[in-house]
Chain A
Amino acid sequence: MTTNKTNKFTVPIGPQHPALKEPGHFEFTVDGEIVTGATARLGYVHRGIEKATESRNWIQDVYILERICGICSHVHAMAFAQGVEMLANVEIPPRARAIRTLIAELERIHSHMLWAGVAAHEGGFDTLFMYIWRDRETVMELLEMLTGNRVNYSANVLGGVKFDVQQDQIDEIRKGMDKLEERSRYYLEIVTTDETFLGRTRSIGIMDKKDAAVLGAVGPTARASGVERDVRVDVPYAYYPDFPTVSITDNAGDLEARFVVRMKEVLESVRLIREILDHLPEGDLAVRVPRRIPEGQVISRVEAPRGELFYYIESNGTDTPERVKVRTPTLPNWGSVLALAVGHKLADMPMILVGIDPCFSCNDRMVHITNNKNNDQVWSWEQLRQYGIEYYK
């Protein structure tokens, strides 16, 4: 293989690649097996949901925003609903808050187990992948039992929740939690003791506390580097003020720590779910929210399974929002991937990429440049056409 400074050997990963579950493009410059440079290009799955919200009314927006992410769908609807309730000055009943939190935590379990399976697959440990996904079915079935759906639960309405939790469902959830707790403990043991797996995760992709803070990492990625960043703890919302959760951190900062943090978070979620079920408040499920939301701006933050989910909502007093801005946790985490990649082996790239639990379609946004004078990045249609003709000549 020729590797000198003028003739760089680059290995492209994506837009279509077996390691990626969604399209994204990464180019790794390698020297033999060692990566010497990394670049990312995103934006293949831009869907224009932010713009779409502006032509739909507030209630319809709950459903379209829920479809931003196919894994953590509930938190999107929850963040939006919370923001709108703040704008409308509505206090939702305690039982609704509890059920929202309950589903959010169930979703966290499902998301973390899904990630653990995918990450194990990237490391070539398919047996672990298959086992984790089998046990993940437990929580998927619980979510289906509660809401009727496995993916987009549609549990939220503006002003509360749609579904109540019955006594027999509580019993089922408790049973499921027992199983999940046992299995999660087992997987925690596997990821910290299995020799071949540790060979792929221990001391790989180390990000220290300072780097994590500087690069702006969020969620389990930051917490695995010892940065205590958890919206549930920092600015409790929904039912977290009543039943606080513990922020789980690990100081190692490597891939193993990310497994450990996520598995421990599953255990913490199990504890929290049991506690919520023990103290489920009585009362209504929802209150009325006006069709037209008063003028104003609001920022709503929740802790998605992948980290901080940020919503900015602006209302102009009509029945449609003026602007909805969503920043998903994957975006702030990208920096850490590109910084970590350099110096590692090509074989570690898929695991480092997946280590942040990326969700490509959630974070893809479009930039529209309004002032295009004297800007060589902005091309007119005629220029583009000419470029195309020249390119294929």
Chain B
Amino acid sequence: MIKVTPLLALLIFPGGLFLLNIGMFYEWIDRKLVARFQNRIGPRWFQPLADTIKLLAKEEIIPEKVHAGLFTFLPVFGMAGALASALYVPLAGFAPSYSFSGDLIVVLYLLSMMTLCLGLAGSNTVNRFSLVGATRTLTQLFSYEAPFMLALLGPAILTQSWQISEINFFAQDNIWILVTQPIGFLVALIGLMGKLELPPFDAPEAETEIVSGALTEYSGRGLALFHVGKDIELVIGLTLVSAFYLGGLANPLEFVLKTLGLLVVMALLQSLFARLRIDQTVGLWWRLGALLALIQLLVVLVF
């Protein structure tokens, strides 16, 4: 039994199957909500799943002049990073499968791997849209990453631990950190949107300018893996932010309510604004985001 559990954790829950399904389900909720806010009907509930299956069944075209190995394995690495990070977060309100002191940093790095892979995948090809997209993806990575990290450090410092499960327990026992650190929450939420390249931070994949950004040359399996990887990142990001700022995740019901509540806010923010140019995004994060996060940290440290 002892030997079966790690395998289960990797393949069924919380990694693997569960994560893939909930990722696609959350993507659907996000798309549906944005559609309703925009006065559209929106997709049917199985649309993300159908898209994934269709893409997996299609031929993957490897373009000329790319490093074929990198081209094939970057989506796998990106998705693996996102999947691995799930093992350390309190997914569905259960205790994380693995936990050690300092796993917060590991999770943040694993989540960045996805973006890094995206940037590499774009710069691997000779497609000009991909190159511009990759440049923008990496530029955006450098702009939101620091404020996002600082925003997640706030609760960590309050708990005096770098362990996600301990921060989760701390958040459950105390008043919602959202109340005591509102600025940090805001930066974390918007940082998450930047990480996921959701509007208005979708300059790296702005379809009216650079078609599909770094993913322009991807088709079939690679594209499907990148998309699913993003969905997983969405779920993990929501889990992290709600575990830290919304009073922790003690049980599945709390998980569903809190992450979905957060998703509604995110969908609303997505439909409220026009796309920011990449220079505006960088300006916003370094002039405003980083500053706010630092002020929040100072407040936490002083009191």
Interface residues of chain A, those whose CB is within 8 Å of chain B, are 1, 9-12, 17-19, 30, 33, 120-128, 130-131, 134, 194, 196-197, 199-200, 345-350
Contacts and interface: CB of A to CB of B under 8 A. Distances in A.
Contacts of B278: 33, 347
A284 to B, nearest CB: 44
Interface of B: 37-40, 128-129, 131-132, 135, 199-200, 202-203, 206-211, 271-280
11 contacts: A17-B211, A18-B207, A33-B132, A121-B208, A124-B199, A124-B275, A127-B37, A130-B40, A346-B132, A348-B277, A349-B209
Given A17-B211, A18-B207, 16 more contacts: A9-B128, A120-B274, A123-B275, A124-B206, A124-B208, A124-B275, A126-B199, A126-B271, A128-B274, A130-B40, A134-B39, A194-B274, A196-B275, A196-B276, A346-B132, A347-B278
Nearest to A12: B128
A346 B209 contact: yes
B131 A350 contact: no
Given A18-B207, A347-B206, A350-B208, A125 B274 contact: yes
Nearest to B272: A127
In the complex, the 9 A-B pairs of residues with the closest C-beta atoms, listed nearest first: A124-B275, A125-B274, A19-B208, A196-B273, A130-B38, A197-B274, A347-B277, A350-B208, A196-B274
Nearest to A351: B208
A124 B40 contact: no
A280 to B, nearest CB: 35
Contacts of B280: 199
Contacts of B203: 347
Contacts of A1: 131, 135
Contacts of B209: 19, 346-347, 349-350
Contact of B275 (A18, A125, A346, A349): A125
A376 B199 CA distance: 50
A199 B274 CA distance: 9
B300 to A, nearest CB: 29
B275 A10 contact: no
Contacts of B274: 120, 123-125, 128, 194, 196-197, 199-200
Nearest to A347: B277
Contacts of A125: 273-275
A123 B37 CA distance: 18
A315 B275 CA distance: 52
B277 A18 contact: no
Main secondary structure of the interface of B (DSSP, over half): helix
A19 B210 CA distance: 9
A52 to B, nearest CB: 34
A33 B37 CA distance: 32
B38, B207, B274, most chain A CB atoms within 10 A: B274
Given A127-B272, A130-B40, A347-B277, A196 B208 contact: no
A191 B199 CA distance: 18
A177 B203 CA distance: 37
A120 B40 CA distance: 16
A124 B128 contact: no
Contacts of B200: 124, 196
A9 B271 CA distance: 33
Contacts of A350: 208-209
Nearest to B129: A11
A308 B41 CA distance: 39
Nearest to B37: A127
B266 to A, nearest CB: 14
A33 B279 contact: yes
B134 to A, nearest CB: 9
Given A124-B206, A124-B274, A10 B37 contact: no
Nearest to A349: B209
Contacts of A10: 128
A362 B290 CA distance: 50
Contacts of B272: 127
A10 B131 CA distance: 11
Nearest to A123: B274
Contacts of A127: 37-38, 271-272
Nearest to A11: B128
A127 B200 CA distance: 11
B128 A18 contact: no
A36 to B, nearest CB: 14
A12 to B, nearest CB: 7
Contacts of A128: 274
Contacts of A11: 128-129, 132, 210
Given A200-B274, A347-B278, A126 B38 contact: yes
Nearest to A195: B273
Contacts of B40: 130
B208 A18 contact: yes
A248 to B, nearest CB: 24
